[in-house]
Structure 1
Amino acid sequence: MPFQVPSQTKLPARFSLALTSVSASILVLAPLLSSVSVNAADVLEEVTVTADFRPTTLEESTASISVVTEEEITKRGAQHIEDTLNAAPNVNMASGASRSRFFQIRGIGERSQFISPINPSVGLYIDGMDFSRSGGSATLFDVDQIEVIRGPQGTKYGANALAGIINIHSTEPTNERSGKIEATLGNYGKQSLGIAAGGPLIKDKLLGRFSLHTNQSDGFMENDFLDRDDTADRDEFTGRGHLKWLANDDLTVDLKVLHLDIDNGYDAFTFDNSRTTLSDEPGKDTQKTDAISLKALLDINSSVALEASASYSDSDLGYSYDEDWGYVGQFSEDLYPYSSFDEYLRNRKNTSIEGRLLSNEDGRIFNDKTDWVVGLYHAKKEEGLTRKYTYLESDFLSQYDTENTALYGQLDTEINDKLKLITGLRVEKWKADYTDSNDNKINVDETLHGGKLGLEYELNDNHLASTSISRGYKAGGVNTDGTLPENLLDFDTEYLWNFEVGVNSSYLDDALTTRITAFYAKRKDQQVRSSIVELREDGSTDFTDYIGNAAKGSNYGIEAELHWKVNDKWRLKTSLGLLQAKFDEYTDPQSTANGLDLAGRDQAHAPNYQYSLGAEYSITPKLTAGVTLEGKDGFYFSDRHNARAKAYSLINANLSYKKGDWTATLWGRNLTDKDYDVRGFGSFGNNPGNGYITETYTQKGEPRTVGLTVSLDF
């Protein structure tokens, strides 16, 4: 389906550039497509989405969803979710660590965390467990699929889903014995090994699956001062376990456990923005997590089902870095050099319990027209911080505890054979208590609410249209630095009204599917991260980080995806995201002496366009080749300054050979070795050699990375 813009509509320049680029790519592919025949029997595989109240197929879901399958994960050589998200339109990431810890959907999401606690805008769920503040947890071995749901999910997920959620679903145990062994070797000393096995422990009664995986790499940074190439290394271990008890025809119980042991180096920033550092005290990015969840699904009778779940996780996280990026003796004393090290040690405990009732076929109400869900959710999160910092006389200690209880419900009403009405509402009681070693005590107690009103209309068997109005929210919070003025010690809840229209279509006897969504969101009391910059006596820079509320913001755009199984040889998968994320009104009073007026400017980490163009060709029944072109527009690193990342495009490719149970995949990412940035800071100086002049400093993205993955499925 061609994308057309009415002649009277004038798109921003970057939108026009994106459309021109995509159109040019399609023209390049056109001669190729014209030479192949279309076989209507080549139907696309059905994809089931699990993130909603009830599982549904991707074609029947009217939310703006992208799904990355296990096959796509393998062909990318992906070990972490950061290796996959460029394929999802209007999704961005922020690094500033060994991995991308923070995610942005439609320009909304956190970018970093230092001393202050955060409430996330994008939820991250792994097998139903909440890891929204710990993005490093998203390793991918033995993962069945990744689901990215854009837009506020206020009814089901509440305060963690202002912008959307990312849902990772690991491979389920089945009644058949199965498993795999997978090994990978690549450049930069990359080596990984994983094993997974599952099947019936008691036939038709108790099923199980477990997996173990280790991933190691030297990283792509070199430290010339220490003469090492592994100061940004990766050492990641993941263990998963799943028991499924089929108690009887009416009751199923799932027990899942997750163990993570991540011991990565962090040595990323340099004075010349290169991949060669001079740090004498390289940092670390570590995480040790043990998590467990229990879920039961009981068909009480033909009218009502009960779904109950509980989860607990305990994580120790460490994040540290060499603040001066150099070594003692690098500069003469008359240049006023400094040396400091900053370390943040966090312990996070998350506990949640949830119960919901869902209608079965005989339990539909309102003349047998309406399916319904009603649920109760309670969660408690505890976060303790110890900050060890050169410029502190003693360690800084803080404790941030939150507790939220929510009641929610949703009705799905079939008005007639073609039209369905969706109404959802969630009311949430939010409490937060903060204390620290500077004698700060801040308490937050408020009631939040959000939900959704939507319509789905089946135009015919091949086209499903939808429209919706939804309200999302993110709780207010605290700023923890005692040097801040009193009016900046806390900030208010942010609300977002989101309007969407979309069409899901299928063509050529389901060989070609498209999903197109247009959205418009208004943000109220928008939470914005900023900082006060002060010079120390030695000439170095000190940051006081804080979050404040902007007046208003508008985020609008389009998300489109196309998947086409042309015939038994060719398959195409493309996506395009167009985004305008603007401040309507906002002046940051701390950015400069007179304040930086951001009205009309793009919000941070909100590229105006993002695209993915992929093609796969079966050379023989056993040999397949694929190539993907991915790109995104430049974007502001922060709302505090005007430093920007440049636009970039990356080429990824794979060659996969399968014989029997064996598969060998040669893969490469960023094959042209494009230089691009994944995190940046501006408006401060850190280099004694040039008098601490204000500069922009960036963290580089992954260079050309190639590897070979061999797997045995049994």
Structure 2
Amino acid sequence: MKLFSCLLPPALLLACQTHADNTALEEIIVTAELRDITLQQQPVSTSVLTGDMIRERAAQHLEQVFNVIPNLNYAGGTSRARFFQIRGIGERSQFQEPLNPSIGLLLDGVDFSGLGTVGTLFDVEQVEVLRGPQGTLHGANALAGLVNIRSAAPEATPGLEIQGSVADYDSWSLGVVGTGPLVSDTLLYRIAVQQHRSDGYIKNDFLGRDDTSDRDETTVRGRLRWLASGTDSVDLTLLYADIDNGYDVFSLDNNRRTLSDQPGKDRQESTALSLHWQGQRDSVDFETLLTAATTDSDYSYDEDWAYVGIAPELEYSSFDRFLRDRDSFSAQLRLLSNDQSHLFGGRGQWVAGLYYLADREQLQRQYTYLAEDFFSDYDADTAAVFGQLDTALSEQLTLISGLRLERRETDYSDSNSIAGDTARTLWGARLVLEFQYREDAMLYGGVSRGYRGSGVNTNILSGLQTTDNPELLQLFSGLQSFDEETLLNYELGHKGSTCRAACARAWPCSTWIAMTSR
């Protein structure tokens, strides 16, 4: 059971009351949903960080803002937060095995689930965190929740901004943003480039260096917005991220001083492109989203944590390295009802859509105690159909029902002659009853079902080849694959502004109780 409620300091409450009559409340729009909705009207436990909040914290990466999000943690033996957990559910690491992540990560519509190193925040307009299963919204990659990052949009007014910072540990950053029209009122652009560097917070006493956990992060974002007509717009978004960080953090004395003789690396180079077409027709609105992304990562570390000669009679020396390449492609079509196509005399708003995602992942592992490098290929193809219906039962009461059917096929093979493929039909759903008892306040209760896909148990299959023990062989024979995992979430919640003034934007108040079962 999870519970969160917000409290305001007395001084802030007084300020809210003083300015309540002459200050307008700024609406926060959540874009991760099937249909854009204001945060106050969304019947889901959600936290939103705006661009102003990110700048106020001088945040370079997601990990520097996640500590203000209730029930959100991150972990992973990596230079940057790569794996997330919501309400205690999620991965903490990845080594040789393939993963179907439990927490989805979208960056301008591109699926980077399991690749959180790319989550730099320069020129990001909004970060949205949806807690609880998002099986209807995003499928198998959102068993426990979804993180949605939206970069800043092009503007019609020309602008140029330069941001820079200098800090301890030889840290500095420099970023430039340019925006404006290429063709007046028709074609807008925005480009943002940032370089961030730091020696890191580790000193390697053996090598006499203070930069073995350095950070060298380059982010380039480019956006074009074509206002094709009064009803159609097309957004083309390009992302290039080159994260070239050191990784040397294992300390024998549990401090920030290491003794490794082979410092590791944590690199991720990603290139992504997305095309988002939104249009309105007489009887229906539509959205089309096409994305493509390629990521090369290099993760390595000194496995023995020390140097040759530290303990001649007891020591060993080993180094582990994982070179992983992932390519993905996705396509999505959404049809949204408008005033001409709502159901039940205008009381039923609906969304229906189709989705496809292809992931291709190749791994090469170089390890001291392997006779030869390990190689594996993992392919996952996902096709889904989804829909949601929002039915106004009265002026204040709304029933939200959603369903997603997904066919997920995976194919795995590796250099140990292990191969396996699985195919499953999965489903997620949500049913929520919302009571809007005031313009800026609501009560809601609902149940949602999320899922993650089945797969091949590579560790067990490896064990089959290394033992002749009949008892172990019998035990392992039934564990060569694992089934899909499901999560049921029951939630009661309240949303309302703590005061009807600008400070309510900084202190949105929501109280919710959630219970989950797996």
TM-score when normalising by structure 2: 0.93
Instruction: Give distance in 2, aligned partners of 1:313 and 1:35.
Output: 47
Moved more, 505-514 or 115-124: 505-514
- Does residue 307 of structure 1 match 2:287? yes
- Matched AA of 2:142: A
Give the corresponding residue for 1:104: 85
Deviation sequence 1:304-358 (CA, Å, 0-9, x none)? 012111111011001000000000111122xx21000000000000111111111
Offset at residue 37 of structure 1 (A): 6.3
Deviation sequence 1:567-602 (CA, Å, 0-9, x none)? xxxxxxxxxxxxxxxxxxxxxxxxxxxxxxxxxxxx
Q: 1:147 to 1:36 in 2, by over 3 A?
A: closer
Give the corresponding residue for 1:326: 306
- Does residue 518 of structure 1 match 2:501? no
Instruction: Give distance in 2, aligned partners of 1:259 and 1:503.
Output: 40
Deviation sequence 1:268-326 (CA, Å, 0-9, x none)? 1111111100000000000111110111112122x201211111101100100000000
Among 420, 423, 434, the alignment partner of 1:456 is 434
Give the corresponding residue for 2:472: none
Question: Which structure has the higher relative contact order (CA within 8 Å, separation 6+)?
Answer: 2
1:40-439 matched pairs, under 5 angstroms: 40=20, 41-301=22-282, 303-333=283-313, 336-439=314-417
Question: What is the SS of the residue equivalent to 2:53?
Answer: helix
- Does residue 499 of structure 1 match 2:490? yes
1:515-554 matched pairs, under 5 angstroms: 515-523=510-518
Q: 1:501 to 1:361 in 2, by over 3 A?
A: same
- Matched AA of 1:294: L
Q: 1:362 to 1:31 in 2, by over 3 A?
A: closer
Instruction: Give distance in 2, aligned partners of 1:37 and 1:307.
Output: 42
Offset at residue 506 of structure 1 (A): 2.7
Aligned length: 500
Moved more, 339-348 or 48-57: 48-57
Q: 1:427 to 1:142 in 2, by over 3 A?
A: same
Q: 1:83 to 1:509 in 2, by over 3 A?
A: closer
- Structure 1: any 5+ residue segments left out of the alignment? 1-10, 524-714
Instruction: Give distance in 2, aligned partners of 1:506 and 1:291.
Output: 37
Q: 1:30 to 1:176 in 2, by over 3 A?
A: closer
Question: What is the SS of the residue equivalent to 1:156?
Answer: helix
Question: What is the SS of the residue equivalent to 2:316?
Answer: coil
Instruction: Give distance in 1, aligned partners of 2:252 and 2:73.
Output: 25
- Does residue 443 of structure 1 match 2:421? yes
Question: What is the SS of the residue equivalent to 2:255?
Answer: coil
Give the corresponding residue for 2:469: none
Instruction: Give distance in 1, aligned partners of 2:323 and 2:480.
Output: 22
Instruction: Give distance in 2, aligned partners of 1:49 and 1:446.
Output: 31
Offset at residue 31 of structure 1 (A): 7.2
Offset at residue 93 of structure 1 (A): 0.5
Give the corresponding residue for 1:541: none
> Contact 1:462–1:507 at 8 Å: present in 2 too?
no
- Matched AA of 2:127: I
Offset at residue 124 of structure 1 (A): 0.5
Deviation sequence 1:130-183 (CA, Å, 0-9, x none)? 000101000000000111110111112011111110011100002111231100
> Contact 2:212–2:247 at 8 Å: present in 1 too?
yes
Question: What is the SS of the residue equivalent to 1:155?
Answer: helix
> Contact 2:236–2:274 at 8 Å: present in 1 too?
yes
> Contact 2:17–2:499 at 8 Å: present in 1 too?
no
Instruction: Give distance in 1, aligned partners of 2:15 and 2:198.
Output: 43
Instruction: Give distance in 1, aligned partners of 2:332 and 2:11.
Output: 54
- Matched AA of 1:157: H
- Matched AA of 2:149: I
Instruction: Give distance in 2, aligned partners of 1:399 and 1:239.
Output: 30
Instruction: Give distance in 2, aligned partners of 1:500 and 1:431.
Output: 31
Offset at residue 32 of structure 1 (A): 8.1
Instruction: Give distance in 2, aligned partners of 1:446 and 1:204.
Output: 48
> Contact 1:501–1:518 at 8 Å: present in 2 too?
yes
Deviation sequence 1:374-409 (CA, Å, 0-9, x none)? 100011101000000000000000000000100111
Give the corresponding residue for 1:543: none
Offset at residue 125 of structure 1 (A): 0.5
- Does residue 483 of structure 1 match 2:463? yes
> Contact 2:16–2:499 at 8 Å: present in 1 too?
no
Offset at residue 30 of structure 1 (A): 4.0
Question: What is the SS of the residue equivalent to 1:472?
Answer: strand
Instruction: Give distance in 1, aligned partners of 2:324 and 2:278.
Output: 35
- Structure 2: any 5+ residue segments left out of the alignment? 465-475
Instruction: Give distance in 1, aligned partners of 2:221 and 2:12.
Output: 44
TM-score when normalising by structure 1: 0.68
Give the corresponding residue for 2:500: 509
- Matched AA of 1:211: A
Give the corresponding residue for 1:654: none
Offset at residue 49 of structure 1 (A): 1.1
- Matched AA of 2:322: Y
Give the corresponding residue for 1:590: none
Instruction: Give distance in 2, aligned partners of 1:407 and 1:105.
Output: 26
Instruction: Give distance in 1, aligned partners of 2:160 and 2:292.
Output: 27
Deviation sequence 1:409-429 (CA, Å, 0-9, x none)? 110111111111111000000
- Matched AA of 2:83: F
Instruction: Give distance in 2, aligned partners of 1:101 and 1:385.
Output: 17
Instruction: Give distance in 1, aligned partners of 2:42 and 2:17.
Output: 30
> Contact 2:43–2:432 at 8 Å: present in 1 too?
no
Q: 1:489 to 1:204 in 2, by over 3 A?
A: same
Instruction: Give distance in 2, aligned partners of 1:154 and 1:66.
Output: 18
1:597-676 matched pairs, under 5 angstroms: none
Give the corresponding residue for 1:701: none
Instruction: Give distance in 1, aligned partners of 2:52 and 2:257.
Output: 35
Instruction: Give distance in 1, aligned partners of 2:248 and 2:479.
Output: 32
Q: 1:294 to 1:462 in 2, by over 3 A?
A: closer
Identical-pair percentage: 47
> Contact 2:25–2:500 at 8 Å: present in 1 too?
no
